[in-house]
Amino acid sequence: MDHTQPPPVPSHPTGAPAQPAPRRWWPWALLACALFVGLIFMGLVGLGGMASAFVPLEGLEQYQEVTQRRGDGAAKIALIKIQGVITSDSLDGSSRGMVERVRDQFALAARDPNVKAVLLHVDSPGGEVMASDEIHRAVQEYRTKTGRPVICSMAGMAASGGYYVAAPCQFIVAHEISITGSIGVIMQTVNVHGLMERVGVRSYTITSGEHKDMLSMFKSPDKIAADGDEKLLRELVDQFYARFKRLVAEGRSQAKEFNRGQKDPGRPLDAKWTELADGRILTGQQAYEHGFVDKLGNLDVAIKEAERLGGITSRATVVRYSAPFDLSSLFRLFVKTPDRRLAVDIGLQLPRLEPGRPYFLSPLIYK
């Protein structure tokens, strides 16, 4: 009698290969997405320094106070950054533009009695005339309202509109190789009239007045000159340019008065400074020699000057104001939008120079 057990019957048809158990991929995909979002969040929180605990602020609740550097007492220095092209548009996908962001931060600094000075950290080639002027005004209004000093620290570039927003500061610190100056205005357009004539294309424009199409790309350059369009545009640019120089002179004069009797009285403007206000760029060293900046140094030097001018006798806490991370802003990165940017030689992506809009921009970044 054979007691051998028969082999087990396979659950799949004879001769068919066994099917592997289905793999559950979605938990791993979910985990990867969570890690990705977490890394971006931590990167944004830590952007610009060793950020510590967030402290909610009353009013303007979308902002949070981030400790950039801990101090020994209650005294604070508020760090406000001007980075990239100065524009009225939003660069982070939110509903708040750059000018509104800067105003909000000055309002928060004014509200806090422990903020003894504001440090404006500028790293910008300039930008729109109106946006630059609004930030300039925000600096002046803060000084007038609070009586507290605003110190500027120039990073790699603080040229044209970047210098425009620095001009009302009571003390300006620049690195020796910072790029600054470039005091001037640019307005440009592209004219394709000659090209259209060459290919046999004509444009027809109906206007309510002879100057309504003064910046039309289809208008003949000869007609632009004959109609007086160029003269009118020159007067407009000259008006902005005169305002730029006047505000530089006023700002440096006020800084000189503020620093009178101080341990470091800063640098007065050179008597022939207007000869350098022809659009040329200056290094921090050259700007210092001619009185456009008060001292040479980096951000740490500027913090020490802010402590001195703010009457802070111990190590101050440096804070900045940051909007909380918005997940919807991350999703906007994956949404295709019309490309309104211009590739420039230094490898940045900048907003396009719109025809007819005046700009305070360094000649290094446009073409």
212 part of the active site: yes
Cβ 306 vs Cβ 149: under 8 Å: yes
| Dihedral sign, Cα of residue 165, residue 167, residue 172, residue 173 | positive
Q: Identity (one letter) of the amino acid at 334? A: F
Determine the residue type at 67: T
Cβ proximity of 108 and 72 under 8 Å: no
What is the distance between the alpha carbons of residues 321 and 337, in angstroms, rounded to a whole number? 29
Is position 322 annotated as part of the catalytic site?
no
Residue 27 CA to residue 33 CA, distance in Å, equals 10
- Annotated active-site residue in 160, 182, 216, 322: 160
157 token code pair? 């570039």
Instruction: Name residues whose C-beta falls within 8 Å of residue 345's C-beta, 6 or more positions apart in sequence.
Output: 364, 365, 367
Rounded CA separation 367/365 (Å): 7
Nearest Cα to 140, choosing from 109, 114, 161, 166? 166
Q: Is the Cα torsion angle 321, 123, 290, 234 positive or negative in sign?
A: negative
Of these residues, 145, 212, 223, 231, which one is catalytic? 212
Of 248, 257, 102, the residue nearest 167 (C-alpha): 248
Both tokens assigned to 299: 């951000």
Angle value at C-alpha 241, between 237 and 245, nearest 5 degrees: 175
CA dihedral 134, 140, 145, 146 (to 10 degrees): 120
As annotated, the active-site residues are: 160, 212
